[in-house]
C-alpha cells in the first residue's frame, strides 16, 4: 500500500514538470505566429512610408522644376522686351533724317551733346552711342557721358563687328532692320542694338553706309533692378554651371557661342514644403491615418502653388506685352503699336473704304526742354497725350511716335469731325498752360491725310504737316493728292485757326 502511494506521489510530483515543458514550445510558437502575422503589416507599413516618401519627393521636385521653368520663361520674356525696346529706340534715331544731316552729312557737335549726352545717356540709360562709317571707323563714339577715344571694336570685342555686319545686311534703300545681341565678357557685359542709318523722306528711302549702335550695360545695378522688379533672387552673370535648383538663361554671342549665363535662385515652393512633409512622414510612422491627412493637405497646397506660379507667369507675360506696345511716358500706343494698327487696317482695306489720320507736331517743344528742363518737357508730352485722347471716340486711337510727334488714327472717317478734332486740338494746345509749376506756351501744327490705302496715311500726313510747319505755327493742312499721286508733292489749301 505504501509502495503504491509512493509511486502515485512520484507521478503527481512529476506531472507539473512535464506540463511546463510542453507549454514552453507552445508559447514560442505563438510568438513566432504573431511575429509572422506582423511581418505583412510592417512590410506594408514600410512600403507605404517609402512610397509616400518617393511620391512626396517626386511632387516636390516637379513643383520646383515648374517654378524654375516658369522663372526662366519670365527671364526670356524680360530679355525679349529689353531687346525690343532697345531696338525701337535705335530705330527711332537711325531711321531719322535729322540724324543723317547731323552725323553723316555734317558733324553737329552741339546737336550731338544735346541729343545723346544730355538726353539719351541721362534719361534713357544708354551708356554707349556709336556711329561707324563704311570702313567701320568711328564717326561718333560716346561712352557713358563723354566722347571716348577708344575704338568701339576694341571696347566691345570682336562680336561688335559681327553685330554691325549683320546690321549692314539690310537691303539697299529699304527700311532698316535692327540687329541686337550681347557684347563684351561675363565680367563686362553689354546689350547692344545696331542699325543701318537710313533716311525716309516723302519720295524714297535712302540707305547710307553708316551704322548706328546703342549700348546698355548689364552691370550690378541693372541686375539688382531686374532681380527686385521681377522676383529673380540672387540674379548674377557667371560662367559656372548652375546647380540643380538654380534657374539660368544662356548668354550667346553673335556666332552662337555661350559666353556666360544669367543664374538666379527662384522661390521654390517644394523646398519650403520639405519641413512640413518631413513632419508628416514622422506622423506616418506614428499613425497612418494622421500621416495620410497631412499628406493630402500638403498635396493640395502643392497644386495651389503650381496654379499660382502659372498665373504669375501669365501676368508677367501680359505686363511685358503691354509695355512693348505702350509709350512709357504718355501711356499711349507707341510706334510699334501704330504699325500693327496700320497692318490691321490694311488687312481690312477693300479699295473703297476711306481711312483718316492726323499727325501733330509741337511748335516750341525744344524751347520748353531747353529753358524749363526735360521734366517740364515730359509733363508737356503727357498733357498733349491727355488732350488728344479727350477729343477722340472709343474707336479712335492715339499714338506717340517719338519725340513730340503724335498721331490720331480715326476708326470712322467723317471728314468734318476729323477736321474739327484737329482744329480743336490746335486751339487747346495753343493756349498757355501751367505745368510742373511753369507757365508753358508751345502750340502745335497738324497734317491731315485721307486714303483708301492705310499704308499711305503717315507719308501723306507727314507731307501735310511739313506744309503746316512751313506756313507758320498753329496751322492745319489737309493733303489732297493729284490725279496720279506719284510724287506726293502737291499740297492742299491750309486752314488757319
What distance in Å separates the CA atoms of residue 87 and residue 288, rounded to the nearest whole number?
60
| Rounded Cα gap, residues 476 and 494, in angstroms | 6
Report, as an integer, the average pLDDT of 310-331: 77
**pLDDT tens profile 3-30:** 333 333 344 444 444 445 555 666 566 6
Q: How far apart are CA 372 and CA 374, in angstroms?
A: 7
**pLDDT-wise least confident of 39-48, 343-352, 415-424, 465-474:** 39-48
Mark whether 404 is an active-site residue. Answer: yes
Mean pLDDT, the chain, integer: 82
pLDDT for position 449: 96
In 3D, which of 168, 148, 157 has the Cα closest to residue 212? Answer: 168
- Are 183 and 157 in contact by the 8 Å Cβ rule? The answer is yes
Compute the distance between CA of residue 156 and CA of residue 142 in angstroms, rounded to an integer: 13
For residue 410, name the pLDDT band (cuts at 50, 70, 90). Answer: very high
- Among candidate residues 159, 396, 404, 462, the one labeled active-site is 404
pLDDT digits (tens, 9 = 90+) for 91-124: 999 999 999 999 999 999 889 888 888 788 777 8
CB 429 within 8 A of CB 443: yes
Which tens digit of pLDDT belongs to each residue from 53-66? 787 777 788 888 88
For the cut 90, the answer to whether the pLDDT of residue 473 exceeds it is no
Q: Give bridge partners of residue 397 from the DSSP assignment.
A: 409
The answer on pLDDT for 441 being more than 60 is: yes
Backbone torsions φ then ψ of 121, nearest 5 degrees: -70, -45
DSSP state of 135: T
The pLDDT tens digits for 232-241 are 999 999 999 8
pTM of the entire structure?
0.48
Residue 387 grid cell: 488732350
Report whether 467 contacts 491 (CB < 8 A).
yes
Q: What is the mean predicted confidence (pLDDT) over 290-316?
A: 58
Confidence check: pLDDT of 220 > 60: yes
**Per-residue pLDDT, 204:** 83
Amino acid at each position: 500500500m505504501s509502495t503504491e502511494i509512493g509511486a502515485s506521489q512520484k507521478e503527481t510530483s512529476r506531472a507539473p514538470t512535464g506540463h511546463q515543458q510542453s507549454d514552453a514550445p507552445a508559447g514560442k510558437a505563438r510568438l513566432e505566429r504573431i511575429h509572422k502575422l506582423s511581418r505583412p503589416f510592417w512590410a506594408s507599413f514600410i512600403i507605404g512610408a517609402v512610397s509616400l516618401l518617393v511620391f512626396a519627393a517626386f511632387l516636390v521636385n516637379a513643383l520646383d522644376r515648374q517654378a524654375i521653368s516658369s522663372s526662366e520663361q519670365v527671364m526670356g520674356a524680360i530679355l525679349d522686351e529689353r531687346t525690343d525696346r532697345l531696338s525701337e529706340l535705335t530705330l527711332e534715331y537711325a531711321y531719322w533724317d535729322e540724324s543723317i544731316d547731323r552725323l553723316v552729312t555734317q558733324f553737329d557737335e552741339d546737336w550731338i551733346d544735346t541729343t545723346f549726352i544730355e538726353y539719351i545717356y541721362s534719361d534713357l540709360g544708354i551708356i554707349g552711342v556709336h556711329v561707324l562709317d563704311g570702313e567701320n571707323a568711328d564717326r561718333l563714339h560716346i561712352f557713358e557721358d563723354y566722347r571716348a577715344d577708344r575704338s568701339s571694336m576694341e571696347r566691345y570685342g570682336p562680336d561688335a563687328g559681327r553685330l554691325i555686319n549683320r546690321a549692314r545686311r539690310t537691303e539697299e534703300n529699304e527700311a532698316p532692320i535692327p540687329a541686337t545681341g550681347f557684347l563684351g565678357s561675363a565680367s563686362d557685359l553689354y546689350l547692344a542694338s545696331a542699325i543701318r542709318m537710313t533716311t525716309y523722306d516723302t519720295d524714297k528711302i535712302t540707305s547710307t553706309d553708316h551704322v548706328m549702335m546703342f549700348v546698355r550695360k548689364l552691370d550690378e545695378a541693372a541686375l539688382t533692378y531686374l532681380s527686385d522688379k521681377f522676383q529673380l533672387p540672387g540674379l548674377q552673370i557667371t560662367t559656372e554651371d548652375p546647380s540643380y535648383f538654380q534657374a539660368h538663361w544662356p548668354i550667346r554671342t553673335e556666332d552662337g557661342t555661350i559666353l556666360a549665363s544669367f543664374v538666379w535662385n527662384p522661390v521654390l515652393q517644394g523646398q519650403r514644403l520639405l519641413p512640413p512633409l518631413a513632419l508628416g512622414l514622422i506622423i506616418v510612422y506614428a499613425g497612418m491615418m494622421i500621416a495620410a491627412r497631412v499628406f493630402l493637405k500638403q498635396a493640395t497646397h502643392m497644386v495651389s502653388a503650381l496654379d499660382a506660379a502659372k498665373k504669375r507667369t501669365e501676368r508677367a507675360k501680359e505686363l511685358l506685352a503691354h509695355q512693348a506696345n505702350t509709350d512709357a511716358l504718355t501711356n499711349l500706343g507707341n510706334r510699334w503699336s501704330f504699325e500693327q494698327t496700320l497692318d490691321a487696317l490694311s488687312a481690312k482695306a477693300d479699295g473703297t473704304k476711306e481711312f483718316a489720320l492726323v499727325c501733330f507736331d509741337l511748335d516750341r517743344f525744344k524751347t520748353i526742354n531747353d529753358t524749363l528742363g526735360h521734366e517740364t518737357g515730359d509733363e508737356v508730352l503727357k498733357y498733349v497725350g491727355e488732350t488728344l485722347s479727350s477729343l477722340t471716340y472709343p474707336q479712335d486711337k492715339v499714338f506717340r511716335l517719338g519725340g513730340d510727334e503724335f498721331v490720331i488714327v480715326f476708326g470712322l472717317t467723317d471728314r468734318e469731325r476729323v477736321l474739327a478734332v484737329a482744329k480743336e486740338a490746335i486751339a487747346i494746345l495753343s493756349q498757355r498752360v501751367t505745368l510742373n509749376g511753369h507757365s508753358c506756351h508751345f502750340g502745335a501744327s497738324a497734317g491731315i491725310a485721307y486714303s483708301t490705302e492705310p499704308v499711305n496715311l503717315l507719308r501723306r500726313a507727314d507731307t501735310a504737316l511739313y506744309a503746316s510747319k512751313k506756313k507758320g505755327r498753329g496751322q492745319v493742312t489737309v493733303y489732297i493728292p493729284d490725279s496720279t499721286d506719284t510724287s506726293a508733292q502737291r499740297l492742299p489749301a491750309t486752314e488757319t485757326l
